[in-house]
Amino acid sequence: MPACRAATVVPVSSSAKRLDPRAPFVLDVHDLGRRPGTQREVTHTAPAPADLGIEVLSVPEGSPVELDLRLEAVMDGVLVTGEARAALEGECVRCLEPITDELDVDFQELYLYDDTRDAASVEQEGDDEVSMLHGDLLDLEPVLRDAVVLALPFQPLCQDDCPGLCTECGARLADDPDHHHDAPIDPRWASLTTLEEGQE
């Protein structure tokens, strides 16, 4: 029945928009007030959420993410300018050696007040590109995720000139630069080799 379906859908979509004030990357900006130009500096450390980064290089889940933030009230909302620092762990895409690194990334995002006319049209259009305040709360996590992904190299390497792995035996060439094989180990030639050896 259509009426029942609508009744179950509505609460789900409205609760998805409600932010948990205790979530690690949700900030309450009530103190800032709404007078444009008012600023506040905030430092905030929170545990990294899962999958912060890319598959081959990411911030370990639960490790501290240090944020230095400047919150500024502007006409339409709150402008957040921030810097995030965290540890990174991953592996070299060429030789699979573990990599540790430090992340240091800048980001900036405008969070629109959710009670303005602009905000109403944004919500109606379902524009995911626009960040919204939810009452006095704003969620830094989506912005942090985007900034981290953009800051990471697509192909992290243990060293700039990592020679990778031997295509024949899988040895890590950086550990063994003189590594070579006398003859190509190719199954098509292997039987010939055996024949020749048999003839000697």
Q: Which stretch binds Zn ion (CB under 5 A): 16-24, 109-117, 122-130, 164-172?
A: 164-172
Under the criterion CB under 5 A, does residue 95 sit at the interface with Zn ion?
Answer: yes
Interface residue with Zn ion, options 52, 57, 92, 152 (CB under 5 A): 92
Q: Write the single-letter amino acid at 71.
A: L
DSSP string computed for 76-128: SEEEEEEEEEEEEEEE-TTT--EEEEEEEEEEEEEEEPTTSHHHHHHHHHT-T
Q: Which stretch binds Zn ion (CB under 5 A): 19-27, 57-65, 160-168, 187-195?
A: 160-168
Strands (E), the chain: 26-28, 39-47, 52-54, 57-59, 64-73, 77-91, 98-112, 131-132, 137-139
For residue 74, the minimal CB distance to Zn ion (Å) is 45
Calpha distance 89→97 (Å, rounded): 11
Q: Which stretch binds Zn ion (CB under 5 A): 21-29, 44-52, 60-68, 96-104?
A: 96-104
Under the criterion CB under 5 A, does residue 165 sit at the interface with Zn ion?
Answer: no
Q: Write the single-letter amino acid at 179.
A: H
| Residue 165 · residue 94 · CB < 8 Å | yes
Which of residues 41 and 182 has its CB atom nearest to Zn ion in the complex? Answer: 182
For residue 165, the minimal CB distance to Zn ion (Å) is 8
Q: Which stretch binds Zn ion (CB under 5 A): 18-26, 38-46, 91-99, 105-113?
A: 91-99
Under the criterion CB under 5 A, does residue 158 sit at the interface with Zn ion?
Answer: yes
Under the criterion CB under 5 A, does residue 166 sit at the interface with Zn ion?
Answer: yes
What are the two backbone dihedrals, phi and then psi, of residue 83, each rounded to the nearest 5 degrees? -130, 135
Residues that bind Zn ion (CB under 5 A): 92, 94-95, 97, 158, 162, 166, 168-169, 171
